Amino acid sequence: MGTLGRKAVPLALALLAGLLTGCGVSARATDVTDSGQASSGAAQSGGTVGAAGSACALPVTFDIARGWQAKAVDGLAAVASDGTDGDLAESLLRQGPVTLACEIDAKPAGAIGFLRVSTGKPGSGDAGAVLRAFVAAEDGTSEAKYRTFTSGGLAGVRVDYVYTSELLDETKRESALAVVTPRGPVVLHLGGLDSAEHEEMLPAFELAQQTLRSA
């Protein structure tokens, strides 16, 4: 990304209060056609985001899990340190062809992690190309599996993978998906403190995937 990712983690933590992380994928990625990887449980809806007037106005709408809290990212650059120019702040929000637009925090529901939504300009490519460009912006991942899905008339691509942090010497699972709308591409990324947190939050990610619609 330009970059919201692992290589910029120390700077991102300093500038954006630890809010920004990215994701990546190695050449070991494989392709699968599927409706999505099933999780061990289902999340209850706590409302919908994406429509005009909601916490985050997006090209898509989807349900968020009960207790999760959505927040638009438009003003996050304002928390950057004095003297940080706008281009640098914006670069920390960008990954591949998309830029962070919304964060949905799991902490109010008792988990540690975010469902992050990034958007891009029309003409960035199909869903598969957008997602591969998004994850290719970072290193340190393996066991990536891509699969296609449909939801609300949208054709999308999802990837599940393992990320290894050289800085922390830790490995964890992460997931992301992409769809393309007339207003541009949208990427949803689920990260967490560790693989256990990711597994706990996965039903919320799948709820978003299953209820995804064009706004």
| Residues 81-127 pLDDT 10s | 445 556 666 677 898 999 999 999 999 999 999 999 999 999 988 99
pLDDT band at 142 (very low <50, low <70, confident <90, very high): confident
The mean of the pLDDT values for the chain is 80
Residue 83 has a CB neighbour count (10 Å cut-off) of 6
Give the domains, in start order, of the chain with CATH numbers: 24-74+96-214 (3.40.1000.10)
pLDDT for position 158: 98
ω into residue 3 within 30 of 0, thus cis? yes
Closest CA to 131 of 91, 73, 211, 188: 188
- The residue whose two tokens read 């990324």 is 189
Residue 84 has a CB neighbour count (10 Å cut-off) of 16
Whether the predicted pLDDT of 27 surpasses 50:
no
pLDDT for position 138: 76
Whether the predicted pLDDT of 12 surpasses 50:
no
Cβ neighbours of residue 83 closer than 8 Å, sequence gap 6 or more: none
**Predicted model pTM:** 0.80
Q: What b/e readout covers 50-74, taking b as 16+ CB neighbours within 10 angstroms?
A: beeebbbbbbbbbbbbebbebbbbe
Helix axes 86-93, 9-16, angle to 10 degrees: 110
pLDDT for position 22: 40
- Residue 2 CA to residue 14 CA, distance in Å, equals 17
- Residue 36 CA to residue 150 CA, distance in Å, equals 9
The neighbouring-strand residues paired with 174 are 161
Average pLDDT over residues 124-144: 88
Whether the predicted pLDDT of 36 surpasses 60:
no
pLDDT for position 76: 52
The amino acid at residue 155 is A
- Residue 130 CA to residue 36 CA, distance in Å, equals 18
Closest CA to 214 of 132, 121, 126, 151: 151
More confident residue, 22 or 46: 46
Average pLDDT over residues 135-144: 82
Whether the predicted pLDDT of 143 surpasses 60:
yes
Q: How many CA atoms lie within 13 A of 64 on its CB side?
A: 28
pLDDT for position 152: 95
More confident residue, 21 or 169: 169
What percent of the chain lies above the pLDDT cut of 90? 57
Are 186 and 179 a contacting pair, CB within 8 Å? yes
- The residue whose two tokens read 């949803």 is 188
Average pLDDT over residues 120-144: 88
Whether the predicted pLDDT of 200 surpasses 80:
yes
